[in-house]
Amino acid sequence: MAATPIAVVTGASSGIGAATARTLAAEGFRVVLTARRKDRIEALAAELTDAGHQATAYALDVTDRAAVDEFATAFRSLAVLVNNAGGALGADPVATGDPADWRQMYETNVIGTLNVTQALLPALTASGDGTIVILSSTAALSSYEGGGGYVAAKHGEHVLAETLRLEIVGTPVRVIEVAPGMVRTEEFATTRFRGDTEKAAKVYAGVDAPLTAEDVADTIGWAVTRPSHVNIDLLVVRPRAQASNTKVHRTL
């Protein structure tokens, strides 16, 4: 009997990562949930296991290369890696943005994705049919005022995805970039505004149906389950009420 294919999801403790873990578990993958908050991924793994799926949790900070390398030793073969861990800090203009925020966003979104991808690429290749998903953003494709360090970091992730695809062509691994626009998740905007829930709520104010974590997980699940020879290079997904990063219809 063939072994159940394994999918690793980073940042599976909330939002898009948690929803993606649920989707991939339902698609028949054995999901390995990682994030820094162990209690949250353990609770989700237990919930998925109780529902008859295969799921385990592993506490991991994607910016800690030694820890990522240690984590990777558990995998001889891996079907799917979803690089989802990431996020934004602040919405300051370039003129006044804090370099520490820029550095942290680059570390988490770009170096974190680099760390995990490098460490797991041998196992993805060894599977004979590996898939890497990189959760960038529409911020990876065009800028917006106040986007500063987040836009720069997500452009970095986009370049990582494009370059890796060029470099590993001919190996049995595909690279899929999913670039969502506005997604209302529980924590993304609150983290960005350092716990200021009022500011966070304004991001979505008057927007008729921003995307949900489940909408994005659904697109990831679809892209990952295409036949092996089909590579969805870049999938841009926005709510209907958002035409661009700066053109959002609000009923206020």
Ligand X SMILES: NC(=O)c1ccc[n+]([C@@H]2O[C@H](COP(=O)([O-])OP(=O)(O)OC[C@H]3O[C@@H](n4cnc5c(N)ncnc54)[C@H](OP(=O)(O)O)[C@@H]3O)[C@@H](O)[C@H]2O)c1
Tell me if 91 contacts ligand X by CB under 6 A. no
**x/- letters, 116..135, toward ligand X (CB under 6 A):** -------------------x
**CB within 8 Å of 74: residues ≥ 6 apart:** 58
Of these, 5, 6, 7, 15, which contacts ligand X (CB under 6 A)? 15
Tell me if 45 contacts ligand X by CB under 6 A. no
Output 129 or 214, the one with its CB closest to ligand X: 214
List the beta bridge partners of residue 59.
35
Least distance to ligand X, CB of residue 172, Å = 26
For residue 76, how many other CB atoms are within 10 A of its CB?
9
**x/- letters, 147..186, toward ligand X (CB under 6 A):** ---------------------------------x-xx-xx
Take residue 140 and report the two structure tokens written for it. Answer: 């990876």
DSSP symbol at 186: S
Least distance to ligand X, CB of residue 227, Å = 26
Classify each residue of 202-224 as buried b or exposed e, where b means 16 or more C-beta atoms within 10 Å of its C-beta.
Answer: ebbeebeebbbbebbbbbbbebb
Q: Would residue 150 show up in a list of annotated catalytic residues for this protein?
A: yes
Q: Do 207 and 250 touch, CB atoms closer than 8 A?
A: yes
For residue 74, how many other CB atoms are within 10 A of its CB?
13
- How remote is the C-alpha of 231 from its chain's centroid? 18
Output 37 or 194, the one with its CB closest to ligand X: 37
Output 48 or 127, the one with its CB closest to ligand X: 48
- List active site positions: 150
Q: What residues line the site for ligand X (CB under 6 A)?
A: 10-11, 13-17, 35-37, 60-63, 84-87, 108, 112, 135, 137, 180, 182-183, 185-188, 191, 213
